[in-house]
């Protein structure tokens, strides 16, 4: 989509996820929430991770940052950030890296923010974790962050509690906390899903502006392919714990190779196109317990045939596109 992305893609990835498997031992069986995911994130790009609930997109990046809690466990794979193996870091070193190098912002700002602390205290707490500086300096930096994310009258709002902010403003506070230490990579997990459409647009514009101004790499996790189309240069489509299609956003949306991606595109409403019929994808994401070794989309796929009842690997179509479908390229 942008030339910046094109040149970034030629570089070494800043974050490289290989063969990642994160499983949850439950009373009903082993839930393979992430099952062999390979994703590269290149410096400076905005990478969209899209899929329905249960696709494994959030668990993948929670795994990257060591945020998976029992009964969840990473059972295989590697995660490299620059020259470090993140899965080999102990808790202390991972905590030191979180926020400073890679930060995450989550969907539900109200439950993520501490209701008993002012927003100023929460931003300063994050800064203090990574920087040694007098309180006055940290307060000035917190004010700077509030202004950067577009919170008006930061000096007085610094003293307010989360419940005194609107949903959109709380999301800005979350961004201020996530960006306080100027991380190189921001993982934004459904940052706008809980917001009204107009506020959603404002927060996404803000994210795009901050990315430009801070020179950040952004991973945008969302169920909304429309958001990805607008803000991301590349996209990873996930389904049932696996990546099923990866490619530059424009090429992928213009000519999707995987039937699931086609289904996602067909279910986007188009304003102004009165005759356009939204075609929802029939059926549900399968239970991730004891799945047979076959295409995971088979139960919902209009192109399924008996030969799809076998293990389907991700394959490269060209240097930038990959797909997990044996019929890709032959679909009508």
Minimum CB–partner distance for residue 294 and ligand SF4 (Å) = 8
Cis peptide before 296 (omega within 30 of 0): no
Minimum CB distance to ligand SF4 smaller for 161 or for 303: 303
- Whether 53 and 223 have beta carbons less than 8 Å apart is answered as yes
Minimum CB–partner distance for residue 323 and ligand SF4 (Å) = 9
In degrees and rounded to multiples of 5, residue 194 shows phi and psi of -90, 5
Distance from the first to the final alpha carbon of the chain: 26
Minimum CB–partner distance for residue 285 and ligand SF4 (Å) = 14
Minimum CB distance to ligand SF4 smaller for 179 or for 323: 323
Minimum CB distance to ligand SF4 smaller for 98 or for 296: 296
Minimum CB–partner distance for residue 314 and ligand SF4 (Å) = 12
Minimum CB distance to ligand SF4 smaller for 138 or for 244: 244
- Whether 323 and 315 have beta carbons less than 8 Å apart is answered as yes
- How many residues comprise the chain? 332
Minimum CB–partner distance for residue 258 and ligand SF4 (Å) = 6
The DSSP string of 139-202 is HHHHHHHHHHTT-SSHHHHTTS-GGGS-HHHHHHHHHHHHHTT--SEEEEESTTTTS-HHHHHH
Minimum CB–partner distance for residue 297 and ligand SF4 (Å) = 4
Minimum CB distance to ligand SF4 smaller for 155 or for 307: 307
Residues forming contacts to ligand SF4 in the complex (CB under 6 A) are: 259, 295, 297-298, 301, 303-304, 308, 312, 325-327
Minimum CB–partner distance for residue 244 and ligand SF4 (Å) = 8
DSSP state of 12: P
Minimum CB distance to ligand SF4 smaller for 208 or for 298: 298
Q: Measuring CA to CA, which residue among 279, 283, 278, 315 is closest to residue 297?
A: 283
Q: Measuring CA to CA, which residue among 189, 225, 221 is closest to residue 47?
A: 221
Minimum CB distance to ligand SF4 smaller for 42 or for 260: 260
Minimum CB–partner distance for residue 53 and ligand SF4 (Å) = 19
The DSSP string of 306-319 is GGGSS----EESSS
Minimum CB distance to ligand SF4 smaller for 42 or for 297: 297
Q: Measuring CA to CA, which residue among 26, 79, 49 is closest to residue 222?
A: 49
- Whether 227 and 204 have beta carbons less than 8 Å apart is answered as yes
């Amino acid at each position: 989509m942008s030339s910046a992305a094109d040149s970034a893609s030629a570089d070494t990835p800043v974050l490289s996820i290989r063969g990642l498997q994160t499983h949850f031992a439950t009373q009903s069986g082993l839930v393979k929430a992430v099952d062999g995911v390979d994703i590269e994130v290149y410096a400076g790009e905005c990478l969209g991770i899209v899929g329905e609930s249960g696709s494994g997109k959030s668990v993948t990046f929670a795994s990257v940052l060591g945020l998976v809690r029992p009964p969840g466990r990473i059972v295989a794979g590697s995660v490299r950030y620059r020259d470090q193996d993140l899965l080999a870091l102990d808790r202390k070193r991972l905590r030191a890296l979180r926020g400073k190098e890679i930060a995450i912002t989550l969907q539900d700002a109200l439950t993520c923010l501490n209701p008993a602390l002012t927003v100023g205290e929460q931003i300063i707490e994050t800064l203090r974790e990574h920087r040694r500086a007098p309180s006055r300096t940290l307060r000035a930096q917190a004010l700077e962050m509030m202004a950067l994310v577009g919170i008006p009258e930061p000096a007085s709002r610094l003293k307010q509690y989360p419940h005194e902010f609107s949903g959109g403003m709380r999301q800005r506070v979350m961004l201020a906390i996530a960006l306080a230490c100027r991380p190189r990579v921001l993982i934004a997990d459904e940052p706008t899903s809980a917001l009204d459409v107009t506020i959603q647009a404002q927060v996404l514009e803000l994210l795009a502006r901050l990315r430009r101004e801070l020179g950040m790499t952004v991973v945008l996790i969302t169920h909304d392919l429309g958001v990805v189309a607008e803000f991301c240069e590349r996209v990873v489509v996930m389904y049932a714990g696996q990546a099923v299609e990866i490619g530059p956003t424009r090429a992928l949306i213009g000519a999707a190779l995987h039937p699931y991606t086609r289904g996602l595109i067909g279910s986007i409403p188009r304003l102004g196109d009165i005759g356009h019929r939204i075609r929802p994808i029939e059926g549900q994401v399968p239970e991730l317990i004891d799945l047979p070794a076959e295409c995971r989309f088979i139960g919902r796929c209009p192109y399924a045939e008996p030969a799809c009842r076998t293990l389907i690997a991700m394959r490269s179509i060209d240097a930038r596109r990959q797909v997990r479908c044996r019929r890709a390229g032959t679909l009508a």
